[in-house]
Structure 1
Amino acid sequence: MELEVRHLRALCAIADTGSLHKAARTLGMSQPSLTTQLRRIENALGAELFSRERTGCRPTPLGRAVLSRARPLVEQMNALVADTRAAASRSSGSPQLRIGATASRVLGGWLRRLRTRLPETGTSLHVDVSARALLRLLSAGQLDVAFVHEVEGFALRVPPGLDQRVLVEREPQFIAMSRDHPAAGRSVVELTDLAADRWMIDPTVDGEWDGVQRVFDAAGLDPPVLRGDYHTATSLIVMGEAVAPCQPTSGPREDMAIRPLRGDPLAVRLLLVSRPGFTEAEGVYADLEAAYRDAAMRAPGYRQWLLRNESPLLAGSGAVA
C-alpha cells in the first residue's frame, strides 16, 4: 500500500479531533471506513500510529513523528488546490464567495441576502458540525469566511492571521422537548425539571458535551445521556424519549416545545471569521446580522427572551414589548 494525500489527511483529522468518530464526520465518511483505512495505513507502516483509549485516540511517539511530516504536505496540497481554484475563478471572470458554517437556522436568510446583494457572485456553502474543522479550512485558504459558534467556557483556537467579528456575544441555548412534557406548559423551564429526562447530545460538535457536562456538574445533576446527531434527536424528542439543547432561533413546531432554561446556563458565542484581506467582510457581516435578526424575530420564544433582556439585537427590528 502506498500512502496518498487522502491517507495523510485522515491521520491529521484523527489527531486534530482526537476521535475516529469525529474525524470521520469531518472527512465525510463513515467511522467503520475510517477505522479500516487507519488499520491499513498502520499495517503498511508496520506499527500503530494511534493508541485507542476510552477518551479517544492519541498519537503514539511514531504517530507524532509521522504527523510532523504529514501536516506540511497536507497544508501544501490544500494551498495548491485553493490557489488553483482561485486562479480558475479569476480567469472565468466570475467572482466566488466560499462560505463555511456550523448548522444554523440563519443560513437560508443569509444566503438569500448575499445572492440579492451580489447577483454576479457565485456562492458555495460548506456546512460542518466542527467549528475547528471550518477554521482549519479557512486558514488553509479553502474558505473566504466562516460563521461558527463557540461553546461558553471552551474557547475556539482561531488560527493566527484570521479576522473575526462577534455577531452575538452570548446566545442562550434553549431546550427542545415533546409537547406533552410536564414542563412544556411553562414559559421558562427549570433545569431540575429535566433531571430525570434522557438528554440527547451530539459529541461531534466541538465543546458541546463539555459545556452540557459543566452545567450538570454545577447543578449537581447526573441525568442519563444519549449520544447521537441532532437530526436523530428530533424524532426521539417528539416521541418523548429525550430532550436536547437547541438554538433559540428554532421555529415553533406543533409536535415540539422549545423553552428557555432559567438563568440561561447553556450559551454560545457566535463569530464570523474571515481570511485576511477579504474585501467583502463588512457586507457579508451586515447580511448575516440582518438575517440573524429576522430569524430571531420569527421565533416567538427567542423574541420574548430578547425583549426581556433588552438585547441590542432588537435595535431597528421594530419589536415592541
Structure 2
Amino acid sequence: MEPKHLVQLAAILDCGSINLAARKLNVTQPTLTRNMQTLEMQAGGSLFNRSRHGVRQTPLGEALAREGRVIESAVWSAQQSAVRYGLGMKSETRVGVGPLMASLVMHRVTERLLQHYEQLSVLIQVASPGLMLDQLNRGELDLVIGPLVVSATHKLERQLLFEDELAVYASGSHPLAGAERVEISDLNDFDWINLGTYTFFGESPVELLQRAGVERFNTAIAVSGDAAIGLNAMASGQYLSLMPARLTSQAEQVFGLKRLPVDGDFGRRDMYLWYRPAVGNDAVMALIRESILEVLGLV
C-alpha cells in the first residue's frame, strides 16, 4: 500500500466528499478516485459508500483512515522539527498535559526550561490522558503529565509527581463560601461546572459527586480542553466545581476561588510523569519534574 493513499483516504472521510478532499490535497478528482480504487483492490474490500450526501466510511475504511492520520501526523511533526531546526532550535521536547496544568503551571515551567536550554523547542499539547498516552506510546510525545489511567499500556513507565485530592471549590461570593463547615447535603440543588467531563480516565465528576452522597445537582457547564473557560465562569460566583486541590491552589488568588470545608471524600487525583523506558533518565524530564514541584511549593 502507498502511504499517501492512506492519507488521502483519511482526507476523504474527514471531508465527507471526494471533491472536497481533492481540493484540500491539491490533486484532481479522477486521480483521487483511481488511487482509492487501487487501495480498495489492495485492501480487499470497500473503503466507503457513496451517496448524494457524500461518503460514509466502512469499518475497513475507518481502520485504514486511522493509519493514514497517523502517517499525516508523523509527516507534520517531521516538517515542524525541520522548521525549528532551521530557526536554530536544535532540540525538541514534546509534553502532554491536562487543561489545569496547562493553564496554571506550564508557562512557568517552560520559562525555566528555556533558561537552561536556550536552543530547546518545547511543544505543549493539551488533551485527554488516554489520548496523550496513546501518542506517547507511538512516539509522538516525549512525556505526559497526568493522572493514573488504569487502561494505560504496560509499555509505558510512570513515577509519582505529587499527591493530590479532589475538593469542592466556589468563588468568594458564592452562598456557601462563608460557611465554617459544609455538609454533603448543603451541596444539593446548586449548579456545577465540570472541568474535563469528557476526559475519561476513571470515574466522572458526576459519578464522584454521587458516590460522595450529593443527591441533587445540575451540571450547568461542562468544559473539555480549556480550563480558562471554567475558571472564569467560576469567578462569577454562581457555580461549584470539583477540582484537584494542589493545582487549583495556583488559581485561588487570580480567580478568587475558595476551597469549601466540605465533610466528604471525593477521591484522589494524584499526578504522574508518564514516559517510555528509553527516556526515563532524561535531564530535560528531570528539570520539568523539579520545576513543577517548585511552582507548586513542594520543594
Secondary structure of the structure 1 residue equivalent to 2:173: coil
Deviation at 1:208, TM superposition (A): 7.4
The share of aligned pairs that are identical, in percent, is 16
Q: Say if 2:90 and 2:121, in contact at 8 Å, map to a contact too.
A: yes
Q: Say if 2:174 and 2:238, in contact at 8 Å, map to a contact too.
A: no
CA distance in 1, matches of 2:291, 2:67: 39
Change (3 A) 1:236 1:113: closer
Letter in 1 for 2:119: E
Deviation at 1:156, TM superposition (A): 4.5
Change (3 A) 1:191 1:70: same
Deviation at 1:165, TM superposition (A): 1.9
Letter in 2 for 1:125: I
Letter in 2 for 1:142: E
Q: Say if 2:184 and 2:214, in contact at 8 Å, map to a contact too.
A: no
Is residue 224 of structure 1 aligned with residue 227 of structure 2?
no
Matching residue within 85, 93, 97 for 2:93: 97
Match of 1:240 in 2: 237
Match of 1:148 in 2: 146
Query: Where do 1:1-321 residues align within 5 Å?
Result: 4-6=9-11, 43=50, 62-63=58-59, 65-82=60-77, 94-103=90-99, 104=101, 105-128=104-127, 130-150=128-148, 155-168=149-162, 170-186=163-179, 189-202=182-195, 203-207=197-201, 210-219=204-213, 221-229=215-223, 230-248=227-245, 249-250=247-248, 251-253=251-253, 256-259=256-259, 261-278=262-279, 281=282, 283-295=284-296, 297=297, 313=298, 317=299
Q: Say if 1:189 and 1:259, in contact at 8 Å, map to a contact too.
A: no
Deviation at 1:125, TM superposition (A): 1.6
CA distance in 1, matches of 2:272, 2:12: 31
Q: Say if 1:79 and 1:141, in contact at 8 Å, map to a contact too.
A: no
Letter in 2 for 1:75: V
Secondary structure of the structure 1 residue equivalent to 2:258: strand
Q: Say if 1:147 and 1:273, in contact at 8 Å, map to a contact too.
A: yes
Deviation at 1:167, TM superposition (A): 0.9
Letter in 1 for 2:90: S
CA distance in 1, matches of 2:13, 2:293: 38
Offset from partner CA, 1:160-190 (integer Å, 9 cap, x none): 533322212x411232213233321246643
Deviation at 1:43, TM superposition (A): 4.9
CA distance in 2, matches of 1:294, 1:207: 25
CA distance in 1, matches of 2:215, 2:290: 36
CA distance in 1, matches of 2:281, 2:12: 35
CA distance in 1, matches of 2:288, 2:85: 24
Q: Say if 1:176 and 1:243, in contact at 8 Å, map to a contact too.
A: yes
Deviation at 1:88, TM superposition (A): 7.1
Identify unmatched segments of 5+ residues in structure 1.
12-40, 50-61, 298-312
CA distance in 1, matches of 2:10, 2:97: 25
**Could you tell me the TM-score, scaled by structure 1's length?**
0.63
Deviation at 1:280, TM superposition (A): 5.7
In the comparison of the two structures, how many residue pairs are matched? 249
Match of 1:27 in 2: none
Q: Say if 2:166 and 2:242, in contact at 8 Å, map to a contact too.
A: yes
Change (3 A) 1:189 1:293: farther
CA distance in 2, matches of 1:212, 1:160: 29
CA distance in 1, matches of 2:279, 2:253: 39
Change (3 A) 1:131 1:42: farther
CA distance in 2, matches of 1:10, 1:188: 54
Deviation at 1:94, TM superposition (A): 0.8
Deviation at 1:115, TM superposition (A): 1.5
Offset from partner CA, 1:169-222 (integer Å, 9 cap, x none): x41123221323332124664333222211111423334772432331441513
**Structure with max Cα Rg:** 2
Deviation at 1:46, TM superposition (A): 7.4
Q: CA RMSD in A?
A: 3.6
Q: Say if 2:97 and 2:125, in contact at 8 Å, map to a contact too.
A: yes
Change (3 A) 1:83 1:165: farther
Letter in 2 for 1:224: N
**Could you tell me the TM-score, scaled by structure 2's length?**
0.67
Deviation at 1:225, TM superposition (A): 1.6
